[in-house]
Amino acid sequence: MKAVLRRTAAITLPLMVTATMAQPATAEGPVARDGWRLVAAEGFNRPLDDRKAAWFRDDDGPGSPYDVDEYDNDGAFFDAVGGPAFREQLAKVRTYRKSFAFGTRGWLTAELAGRDDDGDGRPDGAPTLTARDGVAHMGEPNHKGGVVIRSSRALPAEYRVEMTLRGLDFGGQRGGSWDYPDGRINGYSPDGCKTNFPWASGGDFSRPECSWLDVRSDANGFYYLGIMDYDRPAPHNNIFIHVHRKVAMDSYNRYKYTGSGLRYCNPATGQYEPYPAGTGNGVNAIFMTDDRRYTNQPGTEYLMHSECGFAKGGAIVSQVDLRPELLPDESYRFAIERRDGAYTMEMSGVFARVGRATFRYTRAFVQDGEPIWHYNQRPEEYDGRFDGEWTWPGPGGTHVDRDTWPAGSAYPDHFIIGDPHMNFYEGSAQVDDVRLYVPR
């Protein structure tokens, strides 16, 4: 993971993990802001329209401002696992991007990406970002695009960032069904084929686009709030995103899933339940760690705290189940804090099974021997003890990702809201009240 993302002595703090259900509180109330000072806020009260920014072609090469490492859209990982067929398929992909700063002194940046399938120089089914009536509208009519709001500059050493969710339509059951009355499937349009082409962890890369994994029958989702480990976060392929998250609260809404890879925590009983027990609108609050989650593809392992206890790896845990039908009359607030050598994830609103509540989960940078992936913002915060090497063999040869977390490295914190995947997820969302605090 090279971008000299410069990647601490690892600090093991006595701080214990906390997972508490707070007293009832509205999503608009000043929950857990004691000790914080507001330094930036965006209420989307001024008009915002992405059409004022121009699309530009981006091929993710070494000269691109979006070039990061071997997991990029044109990364060496895909050359190894896809062989020569990967380059042949990638040549068919024409990526366009737009980027613009907004908010007071440009503290926020919008990053949009889409693909031009018909060769007319404009992305097809392009994502959008507009604001009116105090709410930002994020639209993504085609899963081949992506749209995120991010911090323009690296976040400070300690901070609290939060946002309010006013609307959500990125999959999950509606009215008890994964198949919607308007014909959409888990939030995806029924028109045409929709696959993860041309980025996969293996398999036959020479297949026609419509023979790749059907994302409609797999998953839809949205990032309520996540912290990334590199400068200029923007939409990339889904595998890239899975090696660059420090902590994240997202949805992963799997169509009619009955397997054992996901489960719900019922916060009312403190017991895990199978995925079908929920509505497919869960929030997954995950701390990433240095172990590999998968043997056959990149991705960091998950540390998951909930009212049901602690889990490392195994089935993904949804801590709560949202009720999208209550939006926008109700709202949800999501917040992430970095303070006193720990990260905290917080969610507030009206949840299934428990009603109005606030949940907070805190974990030290290094706790019980488990680090939070790339937690160090500065080289002096880390001594290299979790460095490693990832090897990826395939028909294109063997690619070795050396020094995944070396001494002397540093990783800035940047937050994202939206969909950072350019080959998964489709829908719309409404957000407002993005705020940044620092300790008083």
**pLDDT of the residue at 60:** 87
pLDDT 10s digits, 63-113: 999 999 999 999 999 999 999 999 999 999 999 999 999 999 999 999 999
Res. 27 pLDDT band, cuts 50 70 90: very low
- Cα distance between residue 405 and residue 411, in whole Å: 10
Residue-wise DSSP of 393-406 = EETTEEEEEE-SS-
What share of the chain in percent tops pLDDT 70? 93
Kindly report the CA angle at 251 between 314 and 266, in degrees rounded to 5?
A: 65
Res. 315 pLDDT band, cuts 50 70 90: very high
Segment 2-30 shows an average pLDDT of: 38
Token pair 């996540």 is at which residue? 226
**pLDDT of the residue at 370:** 98
* Measured CA distances, 281 to 185, 192, 276, 400 (Å): 14, 25, 11, 37
Residue-wise DSSP of 88-150 = HHHTT--EEEEEEEESGGG-EEEEEEEE-SSSSSS-TT--EEEEETTEEEEEESSTT-EEEEE
Res. 198 pLDDT band, cuts 50 70 90: very high
What share of the chain in percent tops pLDDT 90? 90
Segment 394-413 shows an average pLDDT of: 97
Q: Which helix (H) or strand (E) holds 80?
A: helix 76-82
Q: Which residues contact 333 (CB under 8 A, 6 or more apart)?
A: 27, 28, 31, 162, 163, 164, 165, 346, 347, 348, 349, 433
**pLDDT of the residue at 423:** 97
**pLDDT of the residue at 16:** 41
pLDDT at 8 over 90: no
The number of C-alpha atoms within 13 Å of 146 and in the hemisphere containing its C-beta is: 28
**pLDDT of the residue at 33:** 82
- Cα distance between residue 337 and residue 344, in whole Å: 5
Q: Could you tell me the two tokens for 394?
A: 């395939």
Segment 292-308 shows an average pLDDT of: 95
pLDDT at 202 over 80: yes
What is the overall mean pLDDT for the chain? 93
Res. 61 pLDDT band, cuts 50 70 90: confident
Segment 399-412 shows an average pLDDT of: 97
pLDDT at 28 over 70: no
Phi, psi of 52 (to 5 degrees): -75, -10
* Measured CA distances, 429 to 86, 134, 221, 340 (Å): 33, 14, 11, 33
**pLDDT of the residue at 3:** 40
Res. 288 pLDDT band, cuts 50 70 90: very high
**pLDDT of the residue at 17:** 43
pTM of the model: 0.93
pLDDT 10s digits, 368-401: 999 999 999 999 999 999 999 999 999 999 999 9
Res. 34 pLDDT band, cuts 50 70 90: confident
Contact 222, 99 (CB under 8 A): no
* pLDDT-wise least confident of 2-16, 115-129, 320-334: 2-16
- Cα distance between residue 75 and residue 401, in whole Å: 11
**pLDDT of the residue at 243:** 97
Q: Which residues contact 96 (CB under 8 A, 6 or more apart)?
A: 55, 56, 57, 58, 113, 114, 115, 116, 122, 123, 126
Q: Could you tell me the two tokens for 105?
A: 């002194």
- Cα distance between residue 249 and residue 239, in whole Å: 17
Segment 266-270 shows an average pLDDT of: 97
